[in-house]
Structure 1
Amino acid sequence: MKKITILLMALVVMGSCKEESKKEEMPTHNAEFEALLNNYYEDGLKLNPITATLAGDHRYDDSFPNLLSDAYQAEKKAYYESYKSKLSEFPDESLTESEQMSKAILAWECDINLAEFDYNADLTPIDQMWSENLFMGQLASGASAQPFETVEDYQKWMKRVDGYLEWLSSTEDNMKEGMEKGYVLPKSLIVKVLPQLESQMEENVEEHLFYSPIKNMPADFTDEEKAMLTEAYTDMITHKIVPAYTKLHTFMSGEYLDAGRESSGIQGEPNGDAYYAHQIKKYTTTNMTAAEIHQLGLSEVARIRSEMEKIKEEVGFEGDLKAFFDFVRGNEELMPFTEPEQVIAHFNEIHERMKPQLEKLFDNKPKTPFVVRRTEAFRENSASAEYNPGSLDGTRPGVFYVPIPDVTHYNIYSDESLFLHEAIPGHHYQTSLTQENEELPQFRKTLWYSGYGEGWALYAESLGKELGLYTDPYQYFGMLGAEMHRAVRLVVDTGLHSKGWTREEAIQYSLDNEAESEASIIAEIERYMANPGQALSYKIGQLKIRELRKKATATLGDKFNIGKFHNQVLETGCVPLALLEDKIDNWIEASK
């Protein structure tokens, strides 16, 4: 027995020595590589100053470069080429495990952005959903990331608007070039842009969106400062903003609308198939083909339909599933509100109800505060619910924006899953925990990969029962409806952009398979038309995270801890899905 004990002790010592030897062999922190990452981040902020403002870095609040100019495009291309080249100076063996992941992410960033130069996306710079003019409207409201706390803040915004208006003027030049080369928006999207432009042609200055900061000037401004800013903003709106929007509206409602495409998908543009393949890779961070994704979508739609049938039977509805969709859409009992404030209070109540269960599923919770707000009136008719991240330092909260264009028809049946996705533990947890992680280099704190980010948010919806929600069958049906919505996206996005589907065919497929209102479905289909591939990311990412959880549960058995799994998924922030899978596989091995 004594000999065995001595032998075991010797083996332990030998193992310990080997471990120490291993540790000594592991590379330590690489200061030169850290400097490279910091430089990449800082140069990126100069190139994209809006990103800095969103992150709470206010050094560039007065800047809006002309993103469409040849000079800017050349600078952007040189930026990615330079950093891709510099990465080759750092072999993997000289980097820590975390640094190797940063290197892989930066390589991906450079490659995917450089590939985009092979296409002509800048020839359709304006759409109804995603373009810079809409985001600038959010900033102009004074209730977003652009600060309006000092006189200097107000002056910075005026300078930023000057740069923005230069960009706005260039959009017309680019669209004219696009008309010559066959790159134009579908007519059905152009007509949705026109009212958005009209809203900024308001000649009553005090009713103009860009006048909002003047209505809310800080009380400590002197009368002289208030008068000076009021005059300056009035002049800016009257002589710059209204004329610029009027000119663009005249062009888009006239010759551009006449030239608009009849086709709905990106196949209607030159080199559309190749561009769509790039967009799929960009948004899903996978090498899946359009055909594979279309088939996956059909399979998921069939699976979710069978789950929906069970809920239909549970509530005693006797018609078919399509009739049940209509019933849910029009059920007045699910439209209980008369004031927009009641919708906001409803989401806050959902949050309170789930708080005790969050402790069981998540070890780490963000410090960044969180609020629910109504979407601004100028864009809520065509907006989806969305989350805007808080600042990096946590002083500006994360915001869950809810469009409420008509509160009397606001249907609550999917609100629990919507909150889980857009707010907690979806985008707010995922984004805030990334920003608060001191171990990550700065450039990774503001990265966004839709496959990971939207995949996590859709995965978060599936946690409802574990969080004490979905006790009402209609709310559970709402979750199935939200998942169906993302499964339908796989079918209709690939249908539109790779199979020649029309806008109307995509709308009808959605109406046949989900309970969203017709108006909402139309807005969604037109969203996919404006940004090919983005809608695919949700389901692809969700299915990957589910697959990894299933693998970890099966492999680790009793050793599996859901809080630790969520730590692993969330702690490294947005990453391409292949890198996430490698990370989880390594964690599973280390946890055995």
Structure 2
Amino acid sequence: MRRLRNIAVTLLLFAPVWANVAIAQQASGPGASADARLQALYNAEWEWRLKEMAREPGDPKRGATADHLPKVDATSEQARLQYWTRTLQQLGQIPFDQLSPEEKINAGVFRTILQDEITDIRFRNYEAPFNADTFFWTSFTPREGFQTADEYRRYLGRIADVPRYFDENIANMRAGLKRGFSVPKVSVTGRDRTIEPYLKADDTNPLYGPFKMMPVSIAPEEQAKLQAEARQVIAEKAVPAYSKLLDFIRKEYLVKARTTLAASKLPDGPKYYQAMIEKHTTLKLTAPQIHEIGLSEVARIKAEMETTMRRTGFTGTLPEFMTFLRTDPQFYAKTPRELLQTAAYIVKKADLKLKDTIGTLPRFRHGILPVPDALAPIYTGGRGGLESCLFNTYNLPARPLYTLPALALHECTPGHSFQAALALEGPERPAFRNEVYFSGYGEGWGLYTEWLGRVMGIYETPYEEFGQLVYEMWRAARLVVDTGIHHYGWSREQALAYMRDNVALSEHEITTEVDRYIAWPGQAVAYKLGELQIRRHRKEAEQALGPKFDQRKFHDAILAIGAVPLPVLEQRMAQFIADGGENPPPPADERNFSAP
């Protein structure tokens, strides 16, 4: 009887794999083209993914979400591994050279997505399901409200599912602790406080936030009913689950979390770190190669910093100048409103320059908000997003204004928020590509826009120009620090000292950043490597095209392709140059979006 039950479980577990096989076989029948086979494969995977990740069908660019949270137990993760492994094998059977140009791009993106998913599960990353500033217990709390009563009801379903979801994550974390795979203790310490706001069984609980922003299109009596249900489900389901999670983090996880820092010290550590480098960068570079690139960039940028420092009239040394910048009150906002107003001014200044910088402009506009109080103490200085661009107003003496222009360009416009708006309104692509994100491409573009601020005329003083170099140095130093920690075995103090010596960030920002690199191996190196590639492409295009080079068309070529692995971007930019710096015309219904 038990054997029959096990067989039944196995059939259910791997049914999606065999269903996918059947779909692919059907698409590869007589006369089926390579394009048709590929489309059948990635469309089937997307439909399966919606169900696996607890997503409702809807506008894939805005992300309608189901009335429950995804399963994250080990059995479900292993079933996903089987599914994605089989799908990757099927992808390899489709003749790449027979694909159309657009489907070749889709194939490259799809292959990288599958490889990344497989890598994460093979190394059991789900056993360490958070890092120094990104947490599964806050990730489903929306920044804004919803548009319909049905969306609110589905959100209530997700809140009601928190106990099961948290129990599965706790079981995974216990398995990770048992084999020595955890977030390092130093990057967990203090993060437990982000759970505390969720222990409140009243309207101040962050989960209740969307119910304070209900649209007038929902009738008042319906609003009141939904709000009452929210208070009940938060008090009866969410609060006990958060309390249990906090008890686990403080009494078990923090006690047993590893004290080592290096990813190379984890189970199968050297292979794990190399896999994380390739996942985040989409490049086949090794840790020593990245370390050397970082050292070279640090030396180059330091020379530029020396020159810019002299333009301010400062006569001391570079370390003395950094101390001056960190401590002089003139460089810091007095109130949160002052910081947010300054950020808003910078974004509008960038808006003015867009028509000369980028050809195709989106209609969608983002807002500017402060980082939520519950996250602010351990959060980065800013974070871009489609709806809003966040700026951290916590601990204002740690938030220099001279780096704010670079931060606003990177996170808001023409960086991440702008890029998200373009993706929202861009050409129709397969659904699986509408939400994909590659750090090398996305963060590379964000860092490139900081440099682009020079061309746009955003930086008004030598101090702001120095601030741009500070941020560029910060990303170059990451190459050295990330590989220093995870490959060469640096201590936390070594990493902090290297940052202090080279980057004019505040002590709070330096500490927060180093702890993030410790908890998230490989992610930090993607920024600079992506930016270096984009700037190399620009230089190549300028040299090859001469007077025909138009930066608006160059930027359109990068942005129109959407998020792609860096090798795919390399191919696209080679084609851009071969085509004489021209892009294919946009579909007729999109031409009104182009700037004059």
TM-score tier by shorter-chain length is 0.7 to 0.9
CA contact (8 A) 2:270 2:487 kept: yes
Deviation by residue 1:64-108 (Cα, 9 ceiling, x = unmatched): 1122x1342134224423432333454234321111111122122
Is 1:322 matched with 2:319? yes
Match of 1:241 among 238, 262, 265: 238
Is 1:520 matched with 2:509? yes
Amino acid at match of 1:285: T
CA contact (8 A) 1:461 1:479 kept: yes
Residue in 1 that maps onto 2:478: 489
1:456-475 to structure 2, matched below 5 A, reads 456-475=445-464
Match of 1:273 among 270, 273, 276: 270
CA contact (8 A) 1:389 1:399 kept: yes
Match of 1:547 among 520, 536, 554: 536
CA contact (8 A) 2:74 2:172 kept: no
CA contact (8 A) 2:34 2:94 kept: no
Residue in 2 that maps onto 1:108: 112
CA contact (8 A) 1:65 1:164 kept: no
Residue in 2 that maps onto 1:567: 556
Judged with a 3 Å threshold, the aligned counterparts in structure 2 of structure 1 residues 52 and 477 are, in CA distance, closer, same or farther, namely farther
CA RMSD after TM alignment: 2.5
CA contact (8 A) 1:435 1:446 kept: no
- What is the aligned residue count? 550
Residue in 2 that maps onto 1:313: 310
Amino acid at match of 1:262: T
Is 1:445 matched with 2:434? yes
Q: CA deviation at 1:495?
A: 0.8
In 2, Cα distance between the equivalents of 1:583 and 1:219? 46
In 2, Cα distance between the equivalents of 1:51 and 1:268? 40
Q: CA deviation at 1:463?
A: 1.0
Q: CA deviation at 1:30?
A: 4.2
Match of 1:256 among 234, 253, 256: 253
Judged with a 3 Å threshold, the aligned counterparts in structure 2 of structure 1 residues 80 and 370 are, in CA distance, closer, same or farther, namely same
CA contact (8 A) 2:403 2:468 kept: yes
Judged with a 3 Å threshold, the aligned counterparts in structure 2 of structure 1 residues 480 and 364 are, in CA distance, closer, same or farther, namely same
CA contact (8 A) 1:431 1:573 kept: no
In 2, Cα distance between the equivalents of 1:79 and 1:388? 33
Q: Which secondary structure does the structure 2 equivalent of 1:60 belong to? A: coil
Judged with a 3 Å threshold, the aligned counterparts in structure 2 of structure 1 residues 523 and 55 are, in CA distance, closer, same or farther, namely farther
In 1, Cα distance between the equivalents of 2:464 and 2:525? 24
In 2, Cα distance between the equivalents of 1:569 and 1:388? 19
In 2, Cα distance between the equivalents of 1:245 and 1:311? 50
Q: Which secondary structure does the structure 1 equivalent of 2:315 belong to? A: coil
Match of 1:44 among 46, 49, 66: 49
Q: CA deviation at 1:202?
A: 2.7
Q: Which secondary structure does the structure 2 equivalent of 1:400 belong to? A: strand
Residue in 2 that maps onto 1:342: 338
Amino acid at match of 1:348: A
CA contact (8 A) 1:372 1:401 kept: yes
Q: CA deviation at 1:315?
A: 1.5
Q: Which secondary structure does the structure 1 equivalent of 2:285 belong to? A: coil
CA contact (8 A) 1:337 1:410 kept: no
Q: CA deviation at 1:223?
A: 6.2
In 1, Cα distance between the equivalents of 2:186 and 2:48? 38
Residue in 2 that maps onto 1:480: 469
Q: Which secondary structure does the structure 1 equivalent of 2:527 belong to? A: helix
CA contact (8 A) 1:440 1:572 kept: no
In 2, Cα distance between the equivalents of 1:481 and 1:54? 40
Q: CA deviation at 1:56?
A: 5.2
Amino acid at match of 2:576: W
Is 1:361 matched with 2:365? no
In 1, Cα distance between the equivalents of 2:179 and 2:92? 38
In 1, Cα distance between the equivalents of 2:56 and 2:408? 25
Judged with a 3 Å threshold, the aligned counterparts in structure 2 of structure 1 residues 239 and 288 are, in CA distance, closer, same or farther, namely same
- After TM superposition, the structure 1 stretch with the greater mean CA deviation from structure 2, 542-551 or 562-571, is 562-571
Q: CA deviation at 1:55?
A: 4.7
In 2, Cα distance between the equivalents of 1:402 and 1:47? 33
Amino acid at match of 1:575: V
In 2, Cα distance between the equivalents of 1:547 and 1:290? 21
Residue in 1 that maps onto 2:300: 303
Q: CA deviation at 1:134?
A: 2.4
Residue in 2 that maps onto 1:181: 179
Is 1:96 matched with 2:100? yes
Is 1:80 matched with 2:70? no
- After TM superposition, the structure 1 stretch with the greater mean CA deviation from structure 2, 311-320 or 269-278, is 311-320
Q: Which secondary structure does the structure 1 equivalent of 2:541 belong to? A: helix
Q: CA deviation at 1:371?
A: 1.5
Q: CA deviation at 1:119?
A: 1.0
Residue in 2 that maps onto 1:8: none
Residue in 1 that maps onto 2:7: none
Residue in 2 that maps onto 1:14: none
In 2, Cα distance between the equivalents of 1:563 and 1:218? 38
In 2, Cα distance between the equivalents of 1:568 and 1:151? 40
CA contact (8 A) 2:485 2:518 kept: yes
Residue in 2 that maps onto 1:537: 526
Q: CA deviation at 1:127?
A: 3.3
Judged with a 3 Å threshold, the aligned counterparts in structure 2 of structure 1 residues 468 and 80 are, in CA distance, closer, same or farther, namely same
In 2, Cα distance between the equivalents of 1:299 and 1:342? 37
Q: CA deviation at 1:446?
A: 1.4
Deviation by residue 1:521-550 (Cα, 9 ceiling, x = unmatched): 111111111111110000000001111111
In 2, Cα distance between the equivalents of 1:544 and 1:303? 16
In 1, Cα distance between the equivalents of 2:56 and 2:385? 11
In 1, Cα distance between the equivalents of 2:253 and 2:529? 36
In 2, Cα distance between the equivalents of 1:519 and 1:560? 42
Is 1:384 matched with 2:380? yes
Judged with a 3 Å threshold, the aligned counterparts in structure 2 of structure 1 residues 445 and 233 are, in CA distance, closer, same or farther, namely closer
CA contact (8 A) 1:65 1:163 kept: no
In 2, Cα distance between the equivalents of 1:220 and 1:354? 34
Q: Which secondary structure does the structure 1 equivalent of 2:388 belong to? A: strand
In 1, Cα distance between the equivalents of 2:342 and 2:221? 43
Q: Tell me the TM-score normalized by structure 1.
A: 0.87
**Which structure has the larger Rg over C-alpha atoms?**
1
Unaligned runs of 5+ in 1: 1-26, 391-397
Amino acid at match of 1:544: Q
Judged with a 3 Å threshold, the aligned counterparts in structure 2 of structure 1 residues 154 and 559 are, in CA distance, closer, same or farther, namely closer
In 1, Cα distance between the equivalents of 2:154 and 2:334? 40
Q: CA deviation at 1:178?
A: 1.8
Q: CA deviation at 1:149?
A: 3.8
Amino acid at match of 2:197: S
In 2, Cα distance between the equivalents of 1:248 and 1:219? 36
Match of 1:171 among 152, 169, 172: 169
Amino acid at match of 2:231: T
Judged with a 3 Å threshold, the aligned counterparts in structure 2 of structure 1 residues 250 and 280 are, in CA distance, closer, same or farther, namely same
Q: CA deviation at 1:128?
A: 3.3
CA contact (8 A) 1:126 1:171 kept: no
Q: Which secondary structure does the structure 2 equivalent of 1:302 belong to? A: helix
Q: Which secondary structure does the structure 2 equivalent of 1:413 belong to? A: helix
In 2, Cα distance between the equivalents of 1:432 and 1:58? 14
In 1, Cα distance between the equivalents of 2:231 and 2:217? 21
Amino acid at match of 2:348: E
Deviation by residue 1:480-534 (Cα, 9 ceiling, x = unmatched): 0000010111011111111111112111111111111111111111111111111
1:100-139 to structure 2, matched below 5 A, reads 100-137=104-141, 139=142
Is 1:65 matched with 2:63? no
Judged with a 3 Å threshold, the aligned counterparts in structure 2 of structure 1 residues 99 and 533 are, in CA distance, closer, same or farther, namely same
Q: CA deviation at 1:282?
A: 0.5
Amino acid at match of 2:375: R
Residue in 2 that maps onto 1:590: 579
Q: CA deviation at 1:36?
A: 3.6
